[in-house]
Structure 1
Amino acid sequence: MTRTIQQLFNLEGKTALVTGGSRGLGLQLAQALGEAGAKIMLSSRKAEDLEEAAAVLQKAGIDARWIAADCAKEEDIRRLADETLQRMGDVDILINNAGAAWGAPAEDHPVEAWDKVMNLNVRGYFILSQHIAKKSMIARQSGSIINVASIAGLGGNPAGMNTIAYNTSKGAVINFTRTLGAEWGRYNIRVNAICPGFFPSKMTVGTLKAMGEETLAAHAPLRRLGDDEDLKGLCVLYASDAGKHITGQWLAVDGGVSIVTGG
């Protein structure tokens, strides 16, 4: 007998690790998984932000804990994975969301800033995915990895945006998702990506200030920016058995911006 839609989306008994989970998109994703029944481990660099975010989730009845770690540092990534497994048991869902951006013209872009963005946005995703898979998912032949990319990884940016490192890193995340999904399908590990458009956040504050919220919203067929709910449905689809036949895919959640800009 097939399961009901409610049963397919149910995440009770599952554990999720969410990086960059103390605010913004990461916290929205964590909340979605927790509302569907999963236990949540939040991570970001700052303990005070994590404590506040965990309290928000706990107030909503979600089992949420936190570990401060810098996902630009390999030793921190491995510590985060090991401590999560020790404290919460196997990880069923991994959300790679921690990220950085840098704005500068390509001809003047500092190499050290390029390396910072690539290290966190690409290398960190790989190391944490590999560690969690080897320590938990592969042996159990089960898991869902969700990588947060961006519509910035689908093509170039308008003149004046000057985010070559960020765009390049998010393009890499999309192909990392496709390649890893193909390779780890034999372990029943699904790997998918979310490509957000413009959501008000700390990372996009410079763009919002430079271009204006109304101007950015006008570029979208739906005529608005993303809000605190818009990533939740796709996240739970990817994480749950409702999406058990989906892997190696990306989907833009951008109000339609990518369909009119050629992304």
Structure 2
Amino acid sequence: MRVMRGFFAPPEFCDCELGVRYSQRIERQREEFIHKDRLERYTYACKLFTTALVPPLPEGHTLESWPVAFEKPPAAQDEEYLEIIAEREKVRNAAINFMRAIEEPELVKKKGLCIQGYPGVGKTGLALGVAAFLPQADYYMLCLNAPALLTLIQRSEQEEQMVYTLRNAHIVLLDDLGDPESMDLAPYTVRRILTDVFEARYNASLPTIVTTGLDNEQLREQFSDSVFSIMEGLCYFYELPGINFRKE
């Protein structure tokens, strides 16, 4: 029985002592192969997209240490402040659930996350907190800066291989998608790439995280109703409120 690319195992084992030991050995080999295959694919993808990779979180920064709360601004009302904290907790819980769902093989449909919000509220930090945890569970997230990635693909002679890798990478983060300062429709090549990648990942139910400074209407205007529709099928949408932590 073919389990994965390059790994074969018999469909059934004898229930005698020898068969049980053989079954256990095959299972260990299967797990080792899966781990090696995931790592090799991730390493290759990182080399392919080197200039678009998002730097990892500084040591000590984790999903648990991601700032849900912050000092209340003097002008903020208590009720408004508590609502913001509750919403930030809700989005972090969504990230935790996303992380847990990856490890649940019985979940056939594994929708991703689209985290929206102003610059500095912690969108990237939250997504990278998930990425930092995943290797502990033997998974890897390909973390890419969306503007740098789209520029790289359009200028590269390896466009076909890059798009293929994005379509099939097990877990992908596209960080900072879109330009909040632009009112223009993105170029056709950008929309074509996003359609190709998002549609393939939706059809294969591959875990995907997108962070963006655009609201839903801006996403539609900048990338078309078609691209936004695919994103709605691919991701749960969450608006992340807060302050600009970069100014602290």
The two structures share one fold, judged by TM-score above 0.5: no
Rg larger for: 2
Provide the TM-score with structure 2 as the length reference: 0.30
Select the structure with the greater relative contact order (CA < 8 A; seq sep ≥ 6): 2
Provide the TM-score with structure 1 as the length reference: 0.28
